[in-house]
Chains A and B, each alone.
Chain A
Amino acid sequence: MDWKGRVGIFGIGEAGVGRAHGKSAFMIQAEAIDNALNEAGISLDEVDGIVNPNSLSDPRLRYAQSVAEYIGMSADKLRFVQTDPLGGSASGQSIHHAVMSIISGYASVVVVCGGDVLRSASGASSQGAQNQMADVMGKEFENPYGLSPVAFFALMARKYMVDYGVTPETMAGVAVALRAYAATTPGAHLFGRPVSVADVMESPMIADPIHRLECALISDGACALILASAEARTKFKKAPVLVDAASIAYGSGSGKVHEHMSQAVDLYTPRSSARVSSRRALADAGLSLRDVDVLFAYDAFPVLPSLLIEGLGYAEDGRGADFIASGNIALDGTIPMNTHGGLQGYCHSGYNGGMFMFTEAVRQLRGEAHNQVSDAHIALVQGYGSHISRFPTTILRSE
């Protein structure tokens, strides 16, 4: 795959991060899109593609088209309208699909957007979110056992802790390290609210061994990114951040693919798949892990980024949680990671929660982040989607 230098992100926007203050999911998505368009210096009438990962509280088969309709996109112009109902995989795949549409010539300027109001949802849409969460589990062999997403990650966390002798305090330390970044990021859901290991350990147990303060937030929030061919740069106000390479691994990255959680070959597919996917993406970008200045890894629960960074190669098997908990992802650490606070502290508004890794990566590579990594030039975003089954890697570069 040769994507290097061909497609750029020319504008980003966010709205309603943390709390939407009574606005609807469509309203905050419209605002995020406007903010991204303003940055890029173009009007909506210049956009001919839209990609959206759907909504958890208000799922619709043609969600991207619903957004296009709401904001008034032009049928004269539109070429690519793609709903990506891929769960957390918007933390990569929605961006990849936009790049594919641009490289193929199917579209020229694509907005990737997403948003939801999980925190302030009314009773009806809160029930919608619950139904969705239950629905994504297997209807035959998982749902009847009340396997919640937290319980599933709890199975993984316990296995990890027992196999490698990782203590509950170390797992709590992962959440502490991630939430620390949010505490120093104005606008983050948990801005100004750092937590300690004791806070995490004393928070209620949701699904043993996962405590409440180790769970991804339940947030409102929307974001949008404007992608276009790097050759079209003169029509934009901002210099692009380039999407240099991408790859995805399914299941464990080898053997049989799976879709249901209970079909995973083991509970360590985040590690094995991130290894496969990141190596392919780095090779395509002509880079090695040492070239990465700032890292993003999907962090719904502490065990997930722990395994992902082991797969990427930052820590030995079983040492990922300790790596994160002991200061290595801080600004002065080995590799700054999730500098906005991730799903643990910045925003988890459902399916688009992982897309905030991209808006933050763009800020980092432009030198505009609140927790700025000095001289950040290359970012690696290690995404995750659905039942430990999809692991997209994306490499971003500043010019």
Chain B
Amino acid sequence: MENRPVPLVTPDSEPFWEACNREQLLVQECASCERPQWYPRARCRYCYGYDLKWKEASGVGTVYSFSVVRRAAAPAFQGMIPYIVALVDLEEGIRMITHITDCDPEKLKIGARVVVHFREQGEFKLPVFRPQ
């Protein structure tokens, strides 16, 4: 692990990262308007309410788009190339930046079903995905 950047946790997102460290993927949902939101924050971006709840996600999603990165974004990622950066749509209705692992880059397609797992990075466990 070459000192890859770890999440800058805020009070808004602390429960999310704590759950990741237990290998649980949480999605925030508004108790008033029932819409999910990503990233976690203290206030609903749709109805402006403050009554938000955490819901455990199924961990299943589909690939919205992806790129096989062959030149690292920063020196810390050099040892990881090639790595697959993706936007994944969770069943719960949010879209997140993540990695696709355990996958032949030539075979991955937009729309592929993927499932979450967790990868250690520093003191954190980052949600990443692999083909289902």
Q: Which residues of A contact B (CB under 8 A)?
A: 130, 133-134, 138-148, 150-151, 154-156, 158-159, 162, 204-210, 256, 260-263, 267
Contact = CB atoms under 8 A, between A and B. Distances in A.
Interface string B1-20: 00011111110010000000
B117 interface: no
Interface in B93-121: 95-99, 105, 110, 121
30 contacts: A133-B73, A139-B5, A139-B8, A140-B10, A143-B8, A145-B85, A145-B97, A145-B98, A145-B99, A145-B126, A146-B69, A146-B72, A146-B74, A147-B85, A147-B97, A148-B71, A151-B85, A155-B65, A155-B85, A158-B65, A158-B67, A159-B65, A207-B67, A207-B68, A207-B69, A207-B70, A209-B67, A256-B46, A267-B65, A267-B87
A375 to B, nearest CB: 42
A365 B77 CA distance: 46
Contacts of B98: 145
Q: Which of B64, B73, B95 has the most CB of A within 10 A?
A: B73
A262 B9 contact: no
Lowest 8 A-B CB distances belong to which pairs?
A: A148-B73, A154-B67, A146-B77, A208-B68, A139-B8, A159-B65, A146-B73, A155-B65
Contacts of B66: 155, 158
Contacts of A262: 38-39, 87, 95-97
Contacts of B10: 140
Q: Which of A146, A150, A208, A260 has the most CB of B within 10 A?
A: A146
Given A144-B7, A144-B124, A158-B66, A134 B73 contact: yes
A141 B7 contact: yes
Contacts of A267: 65, 87
B95 to A, nearest CB: 7
A140 B97 contact: no
A130 B66 CA distance: 22
Contacts of B31: none
Nearest to B10: A140
Contacts of B83: 146
Contacts of B76: 146
B110 A162 contact: yes
B67 A151 contact: yes
B117 to A, nearest CB: 14
B4 A144 contact: yes
B11 to A, nearest CB: 12
A205 B74 contact: no
A375 B87 CA distance: 46
Q: Which of A138, A151, A208 has the most CB of B within 10 A?
A: A151
Contacts of B86: 155
Given A146-B77, A208-B105, A263-B39, 7 more contacts: A140-B9, A143-B5, A146-B72, A155-B67, A205-B68, A261-B97, A262-B97
B80 A146 contact: yes
Nearest to B8: A139
Given A156-B65, A208-B105, A256-B45, A146 B71 contact: no
Contacts of A151: 67, 69, 73, 85
A140 B39 contact: yes
A216 to B, nearest CB: 14
A208 B66 CA distance: 9
Contacts of A210: 67
A275 B121 CA distance: 41
A205 B105 CA distance: 13
A184 B85 CA distance: 37
A144 B6 contact: yes
A150 B87 contact: no
A146 B76 CA distance: 9
Contacts of B39: 138, 140-141, 260, 262-263
B7 A140 contact: yes
A71 B87 CA distance: 46
Nearest to B12: A140
A142 B77 CA distance: 13
Interface in B1-58: 4-10, 13, 38-39, 45-46
Q: Which of B67, B86, B95 has the most CB of A within 10 A?
A: B67
A344 to B, nearest CB: 18
